[in-house]
Amino acid sequence: MLKIERQNLIDQEIRKAGFVLVPSLSEALDCSEETIRRDLREMESAGKLVRTHGGAYLVEKYDKGYPIELRKSYMQHTKERMADVAIREIQENDMVMLDSSTTCLAIAEAILTRQMNVTLITNSLAICNLFSEANTNISVVGIGGVFRRRTSSFADPNTVEALRHYYADKAFISCPKVSVEFGLSDNHISEANVRRQMLKSAQTKIIVADHTKFEGTANHLFDGLENVNTIITDQRLPEDFAAFAERRKIKILYAQE
């Protein structure tokens, strides 16, 4: 197959689905993954897509975040290690809020595996689906609203209003960016509002974020870092973060290999 034909097919697929995965394209187009990566580099240079780990996606006008299908495949082992640390912060009979991140999906999977006696409150359809056919007594409260396919979540003013009727023991969120100067930020205003309310509606506020999220900011600021109780991450934080956390008495937990 000629390169131009291959790239046309990639363009058709990404416009249809909003994203593409390198292994799937390699199999469908009967070529090596390196060939696909080279095509994606050229197409990104031409402004047709944005490359990321394992694939590429189209940027929506009001949302620069990765589609959930790409986020699921990125740093999965790291998310599992952070989830193992996160569940140590959960007590029996806790009410726990989880956002729509794939990191919180990993926490939900760890809770299910260990059959922890907790109640989960979430706006994530992926988390609700995880428990839909599971043999478990874990209670799950699904918070509805307008469905966002890109994040497999419900996020609109109705979602925020519903969250105001609960007060959780713990809230775990994993927003796109964390900054000492600007605090917590998100790529989409509706998701930012949901995460803000989850933090307001919880006694203990916990950020679970890998090291790549402690650089820069996203477009929508929704809370100050000083309002967080605990940070769970996979690598040592930069000195300014560590100093800030010490001054504010924010607990830092590391998920080491």
Q: Give average pLDDT by consecutive 10-residue segment, the chain, 257 residues.
A: 86 79 86 89 85 74 50 74 97 97 95 96 96 91 92 94 97 95 93 97 97 88 96 93 94 90
DSSP alpha helices (H): ranges in the chain? 3-17, 22-29, 33-45, 68-73, 76-86, 102-114, 125-132, 157-163, 189-200, 239-248
Rounded to a whole number of angstroms, the distance between the first and last alpha carbons of the chain is 43
Nearest to 85 by CA among 238, 249, 252: 252
Burial per residue of 1-38, b for 16 or more beta-carbon CB atoms within 10 angstroms, e otherwise: eeeeebbebbbebbeeebbbbbeebbeebebeeebbbe
pLDDT of 59: 66
pLDDT of 150: 76
Distance in angstroms (rounded) separating the CA atoms of residues 2 and 169? 57
pLDDT of 61: 44
Domains, the chain: 3-58 (1.10.10), 73-254 (3.40.50.1360)
